[in-house]
Amino acid sequence: MAIEALLQATSGFSPDKPKVAVQNFNILPVLALSKESTAQIELSSTLRLTLITYASNSNKWWEFTAISFSNDVSTAHATGTLSISSQSQCMSLKYQMLSSELKPTAARVV
């Protein structure tokens, strides 16, 4: 969602082989969908140039947010900063987590 929004916002960019730089990307609460036919949920995403100061914006970096609305409650599900990049860059591992430190997966509703 974030990359598609960025490619649409930067319409002059050739999407043949886009390179996207991502910073501070946070995946927040998972969006749980109900099988009930009466359940309603609205998804929204925002993309705007990153603020540098209160008076100026970046001309390169974009802030992304994905939000859901259900039962008059809004929940942010993902946030981050993206940019079109001219260089191939690999993400560097900043923290090595051991499998024993991971919490078990939450029970799924079937």
pLDDT at 93: 63
pLDDT of 81 higher than 80 = yes
Q: What pLDDT, on a 0 to 100 scale, did the predictor assign at position 63?
A: 93
Cα dist from 38 to 10, 14, 43, 70, 74, whole Å: 37, 41, 16, 12, 18
Q: What is the pLDDT of residues 19-78, one digit of tens each?
A: 788 888 888 887 777 777 777 888 888 999 988 888 888 888 899 999 998 888 888 889
Q: Is the pLDDT of residue 79 over 80?
A: yes
What pLDDT was estimated at residue 55? 85
- Looking at per-residue pLDDT, the higher value among 109 and 74 belongs to 74
Paired with 75 in beta bridges are 68
Specify the pTM. 0.65
Give residue 80's pLDDT.
92
- At 24, which helix (H) or strand (E)? strand 20-27
